[in-house]
Amino acid sequence: MIGSNWLKGFVIAGCMLLISLQSRAAADGNEIELNRGKWTIVIRRDRKTLDFLHEGRTILKGVYAKAKSGIDSLQSTDYPIMSYSSWEKVSDQLGDGEKLTISYSQWIGRPTMRHYVYLYPDKDYFFIEADLISHDTISSNYIAPVVTTTPSAFLEADTANRVLSVPFDNDDWVRYSSLPLRTDSVSFEVTSIFSGKGREGLVIGSVEHDTWKTGIRYATSNNQTVNALECFGGMTHALTRDINKVGSDRPSKGHGSITGRCLKSPKMLVGFFADWRKGMECYGEANALVAPQRAWKKGNVFGWNSWGAMAEKLNFLGAMDVSDYIHARLQPAGFHNQGTTYVILDSYWDRLNDEQLQAFVQQCLANGQVPGIYWSPFSDWGGRGTKVMEGSNYTYNEAYLYANGEKRKIASLALDPTHPGTQQRMDFFIGRFKRLGFKYIKLDFLNNGILEADHYYDKGVTTGVQAYNKGMAYLADLCGEEMYMALSIAPLFPAPYGNSRRISCDAWGALKDTEYELNSLSFGWWLDRVYGFNDGDHIVLSGNSESENRMRVTSGVITGTYILGDNFSQKGSCIGDLMARTKAEKFVTNEEVNAIGRIGRSFAPVEGYQADAPNRAEELFWLRTDDALYLAVFNLTARAKSVKIAWSRVGLAPTGMKRVRELWSGETTSYEGPSLTTSLPAKDVKLFKIDL
């Protein structure tokens, strides 16, 4: 679970601004009600706060803004004057809408604070941001456009109500949490507060990721009440890897400050949806409008990666044999997408010389495969401080990131993404990979590049997010559109530098791996709206039971990219278990299962509140296409059980179905009545296709 008890000593920040507009005011003039589409904004001039109502239902009450300006803490409710403007028409990536500006001013010696609210016709969401305006140069490392300590209860009280805790990155086997609505916690970039049974819910999160790490703190109680909510730019935490755990000898660092005469928060989406899952998908789509996905037209990746079982024993003859085996046995049996399979050398590829790498590339091409490689652009694994960086005249010492004068490190020493030595090292390695003919690159430990630091080489960069954008934009330009960029250990955002992103950390093939990976899918499936594909990591079959094999393959194809990890080699210095080949030929050649992988979309949770603990995985997932509905039913326990799924929970009625088949067995299932009932053995899965 991500979180801390933060309500005591609640400290935050934000901004707002106002002038004049025609509206309906209360008799005393203190309340001004503005109506636009599904939303009503109530301006409370006496309290200097805002209420937001969706179709007449109060969602957020007593909203104000907070910010830091230098050492000063500012709160919009403390300003003497609150005013608002006429609606202004806007047209941007998000559509055609209207903008309302609310100002807080005449606090002597303090900058003006402003709120901006963007409303779009008939949308269930709006956008809000805040800024600080000054005649003099000011600095801030915290601006919060949405803060409230006024309790609200927009859901009916129910033990199935939940609030999401979304991790900042996917390192160190961190988990998502779907928490009962009686907890204080924190989420990164986005959260949803929703009804598990009724499904309606609030979604709130940042859609801009150019400067700030966004944090969302919440305090809830009684399975209903939101007692406090704070959405802000300027988050640092143990899970951003900036604040180190008690007892750690590594330095901690607060969020970097931005400087100027106009300082702006991240823009936040605030929406209330009949189905919180649709709301999360809308949030993902809004992010992709602001920062479009990296271009890719060649479909989902089917492939093999050496890290799953060969790992540090990667060798030339073994890799060549794997390529031949996949070509001879798996590709003809259907393990491919449009005739293409990827064969990827992970860490320890540097044990092969360029002549061997070139031969591997040529072998892959001859076998109808795309050759892939691995690299970590912001990492120094050797602590080689005085060594000259490859392709440059700079030493590693010159390019490290520092916090309080000490080198920054997560798993490896962190390199400054803006440093010319780091970028020349990128030139060297990406140029080498492209000359050799690699068309896919797995990029790892990217969270090193988003750390806060004492300073960056580029003096215009003052925050970790700015540095990350600078380095990743440089890297993406080097790779070009023909090279597939697969982000591995990486922050959730910013996103436009990857064709896919690993949805979890390393996951192999046992029940615990499947459950862990499915936890990330349960509450992060919507990220396939942000990236081209989610990546469910390598699938390892050997050493696990056949039921676990079915589960792990299913978890892969319903997540996104479909990548195997067994050691199929029978040559070289690391001979694999022949059972790996036997299992692959049984479990990754089911044409109807593989057809789901070719769709390349993530399944959504059917419920979102039924995991057996807040940070565990759901067991029911679904995907609707034009002519079918797919339903994956997992048993993540060590005992057999029966599962009943009401057709209404997946938007179906028996009269609308043509056939229900389980794809692993090929058996047709009866679908009469209001629900589907099925029995699952321990640690197993059933994957249904419902023809419509």
DSSP 3-state of 27: coil
Full DSSP string of 74-105: EEGGGSSEEEEPPPEEEEETTEEEEEEEEEEE
Question: Given a cut of 70, is residue 1 above it in pLDDT?
Answer: no
Q: Please list, in sequence order, all residues whose beta carbon lies within 8 angstroms of the beta carbon of residue 435, skipping any fewer than 6 positions away.
A: none
Which of 9-18, 162-171, 286-295 shows the lowest mean pLDDT across its residues? 9-18
Do the bridges between strand 302-305 and strand 268-273 make them parallel or antiparallel, or are there none, so unpaired?
unpaired
Q: Are the C-beta atoms of residues 18 and 104 closer than 8 Å to each other?
A: yes
> Using an 8 Å Cβ cutoff, are 587 and 541 in contact?
yes
CA angle 415, 495, 189 (to 5 degrees): 95
Can you read off the two tokens belonging to residue 427?
A: 């030139």
The Cα–Cα gap between 117 and 14 comes to 13
In the structure, what pLDDT confidence band is assigned to residue 630 with cuts at 50, 70 and 90?
very high
Whether residue 549 has pLDDT greater than 70: yes
In the three-class reduction of DSSP (H, G, I as helix; E, B as strand; rest coil), residue 237 is classed as coil
- Residues linked to residue 95 through DSSP beta bridges, in sequence order: 92
pLDDT for the residue 662: 98
Query: Taken in order 18, 19, 22, 24, is the CA torsion positive or negative?
Result: positive
| pLDDT score recorded for residue 14 | 34
**Lowest-confidence pick of 117-126, 247-256, 558-567, 594-603:** 247-256
Q: Rounded mean pLDDT of 579-592?
A: 98
| Across 438-443, average pLDDT | 98
For 336-345, write each residue's pLDDT tens digit. 999 999 999 9
Beta bridge partners of 563: 303
Question: Has residue 24 got a pLDDT over 50?
Answer: no
Task: Return the exposure string of 549-563: e unless at least 16 CB atoms fall within 10 Å of the residue's CB, then b.
Answer: bbbbbbbbbbbbbbb
pLDDT band at 2 (very low <50, low <70, confident <90, very high): low
Is residue 189's pLDDT more than 70? yes
Tell me the torsion sign for CA atoms 267, 271, 277, 282: negative
Q: How far apart are CA 133 and CA 660, in angstroms?
A: 61
Region 262-274: mean pLDDT is: 98
What are the two backbone dihedrals, phi and then psi, of residue 450, each rounded to the nearest 5 degrees?
-115, 10
The per-residue pLDDT for 28 is: 55
pLDDT of 678 strictly over 50: yes
127 near 100, Cβ under 8 Å? no
- Measured CA distances, 271 to 190, 206, 274, 281, 282 (Å): 11, 12, 10, 12, 9
Comparing 189 with 248, which gets the higher pLDDT?
Answer: 189
Is the CA virtual torsion 419, 423, 425, 426 positive or negative?
Answer: positive
The pLDDT value given to residue 46? 93
Convert the pLDDT of each residue in 71-86 to its tens digit.
999 999 999 999 999 8
Q: Would you place residue 618 in the very low, low, confident or very high pLDDT band (cuts 50, 70, 90)?
A: very high
CB 471 within 8 A of CB 401: no
Work out the pLDDT band at 251, boundaries 50, 70, 90.
confident
Looking at residue 30, its pLDDT comes to: 86
pLDDT at residue 247, rounded to an integer: 65
> Once rounded to an integer, what is the mean pLDDT over residues 350-369?
98
Question: Residue 384 — pLDDT band, cuts 50, 70, 90?
Answer: confident
Tell me the average pLDDT across 542-566. Answer: 98
Domains of the chain: 24-248+255-290 (2.70.98.60), 302-599 (3.20.20.70), 619-691 (2.60.40.1180)
Q: Write down the H helix ranges in 381-526.
A: 396-399, 420-436, 464-479, 511-524
- How far apart are the C-alpha atoms of 259 and 9, rounded to whole Å? 27
Residue 388's SS3 state is: strand
Express the helix, strand and coil content of the chain in percent, nearest 5 each. Answer: 25, 35, 40
Helix (H, G, I), strand (E, B) or coil at 553: helix
CA distance 19 to 42: 15
pLDDT (tens digit, 9 = 90+) per residue, 462-495? 999 999 999 999 999 999 999 999 999 999 999 9
The pLDDT of residue 27 is 40
Contact predicate 234/213, CB 8 Å: yes
The pLDDT value recorded for residue 154 is 97
Mean pLDDT of all residues in 410-417:
96
Q: What is the mean pLDDT of residues 183-195?
A: 98
DSSP 150-213: S-B--S---TTEEEEE--SB-GGG---EEEESS-EEEEESEEEEEETTT--EEEEEE---SS--
Look up the pTM and report it: 0.95
262 strand-pairing partners? 133
Strand 533-535 relative to strand 500-502: parallel, antiparallel, unpaired? parallel
Q: What is the mean pLDDT of the chain?
A: 94
pLDDT, tens digit, for every residue of 520-540? 999 999 999 999 999 999 999
- What would you measure as the largest C-alpha separation in the chain, in angstroms? 86
Q: Is residue 219 within 8 Å of 294, Cβ to Cβ?
A: no
Q: What whole-number distance in Å separates Cα of residue 48 and Cα of residue 50? A: 7
Strand runs (DSSP E) across 549-683, as ranges? 560-564, 604-605, 620-624, 628-635, 641-646, 659-662, 675-680
* CB contact at 8 A, 118 and 94: yes
